[in-house]
Structure 1
């Protein structure tokens, strides 16, 4: 199997199975016991091959809001009691991805496709009844590890003088972040509900925004580099269109399937 074939992914169309899987995860999250903000309960989700863990702390900070999200949790990845993703927000997530885009555009595309697969639970497995986790096959896990080993580890060090979170840890963190977004929007009267809000709200819009915004910004950065070298006119519309997407959609930035196909081919296909 070629490198492209390993993560070849067809544009996903939502179905009952996808919604059922999301409902199962919401039910699991509802059942997690909560502590207090000062003494939160830890809920282990996955043990990663490198000794790290992905886990939630419950409750999360949104339980303190004037209109609280009583089911809110805090997603984390780390080891030995130290979270590597504490207080991570979109800014940090996009920074991580934009650094990858500067290290290698081809690797950037591959990582975004891995995120796309994560979004639609294509690499998740139900390890026991009602417990669905991000668990890539050995083939895809090796693929992720090779990206980390041969491109990202040295790339971060060489271009940015930093040591960043590993790609596998990053993918696990995004999974938990998106899971928590489903919990935020799709619970009514203590039960999973996908009627009150559109099915894209929560997990789907969150991860597609994680993908789309840095993709658009990366194109702008590449245009600046190219036009500067050639003394051409920089296309500022590449960045203003990104801002416009956020303005129109109240904080989300989701490219259409057609746009995703344009940018992520040949790994993503229709």
Structure 2
């Protein structure tokens, strides 16, 4: 893969000022250990999610709102499908057959009504793949934000002292112009939704044996798989490497390798030396 420099972006019509501002906002701090940085934040958000109120069954779910943007609300309903008594999973450590009792159902509402059907990972992959036809720099920026989201780099405590995702302002402003929507919802709503989806993956891993976000299983590997897909669409990772990883642990996912050198080559605006 050829080295991507500032000139690459200038030829795409990205102004030097805009590129510099985005790079300053998104560049990774030198020496930052990503997984350890995220661990305590993930554990706190996981603990909060497990304590969300739960209804008696799938038909009587209790709803918890997590994000709001305009008329859109991103929420979870509990219990989720995997919490049903007859849903069978294997505990990752003991091998015991059990359900995922803490499962949640992430969804989007507008004006009080649910938007679309429950989205599978396959459906989300298709929505992201469609963005190739829209704007390649927008797609790259989306992948960059998803990578940062994996490690909760853009999460901050709200007024209730709870961790919440806050998209970087400059990057989001550019993204809204280049990719206004994904799958029929505004780009910021899409980002909030996949953050909640990633939270639910941490909940599942915790419930089934990988407790308290002590590993990258869950949020990190889920979102790095999305970032890996974007890297393939940008022609910065091969489809073969992306596809092959699904045949092996961790849990049939394909997380993007994230050494400093590797990730700066794939998403250059993360590099302090762009």
Give the TM interval when normalised to the shorter protein: 0.7 to 0.9
Which structure 1 residue ranges, 5 or more long, are not aligned? 157-161, 221-236
- Choose from 19, 33, 55 the match for 2:39: 19
Tell me whether 1:89 sits opposite 2:120 in the alignment. Answer: yes
- What's the secondary structure of 1:172's corresponding residue? helix
The answer to whether the aligner puts 1:37 opposite 2:64 as a matched pair is: no
Contact preservation (8 Å) 1:110, 1:267: no
CA distance in structure 2 between the partners assigned to 1:37 and 1:144 by the alignment: 35
Q: Structure 1 CA distance, aligned partners of 2:124 and 2:104?
A: 18
- Match of 2:66, SS state, is strand
2:225–2:253 contact (8 Å) kept in structure 1:
yes
Give the Å deviation of 1:15: 5.6
Count how many residue pairs are aligned between Structure 1 and Structure 2: 238
Match of 2:201 among 176, 181, 184: 181
* Residue 8 of structure 2: aligned partner: none
**Alpha-carbon distance, 1:128 to partner:** 4.3
Q: How far apart, in 2, do the equivalents of 1:253 and 1:76 lie?
A: 24
Name the structure 2 match of 1:166.
Answer: 186
Q: Is the 8 A contact 1:209 1:253 kept in 2?
A: yes
Partners in 2 of 1:207 and 1:86 — Cα distance?
21
Q: How many angstroms does 1:194 deviate by?
A: 4.3
Partner of residue 224, structure 1 = none
Deviation of the 1:115 alpha carbon = 0.9
C-alpha distance 151-41 of structure 1, shift in aligned 2 (>3 A): same
Output the CA distance in 1 between the equivalents of 2:49 and 2:22.
36
- 2:241 is matched with 241
2: distance between equivalents of 1:265 and 1:16?
A: 22
Runs of 5+ unmatched residues, structure 2? 1-19, 89-97
CA contact (8 A) 1:53 1:79 kept: yes
> Contact 1:33–1:58 at 8 Å: present in 2 too?
yes
Pair 216,269 (structure 1): closer, same or farther in 2 beyond 3 Å: farther
Shift of 1:47: 2.0
1:141 aligns with 2:169: yes
Structure 1 distance, partners of 2:25, 2:243, is 34
Distance in 2 (alpha carbons) for counterparts of 1:217 and 1:123? 24
Aligned ranges 1:199-214 → 2 under 5 Å: 199-214=215-230
Out of 216, 225, 236, which is 2:232 matched to? 216
- Structure 1 position 59, deviation (Å): 0.7
Q: Report if the CA contact (8 A) 1:246-1:252 is conserved.
A: yes
**Equivalent pair of 2:202/2:213 in contact (CA under 8 Å):** no
Go from structure 1 to structure 2 and tell me whether the alpha carbon gap of 1:267 and 1:85 turns closer, same or farther (over 3 Å shift).
farther
Q: Tell me the TM-score normalised to structure 1 length.
A: 0.77
Aligned to 2:27: 8
Partner of 1:227: none
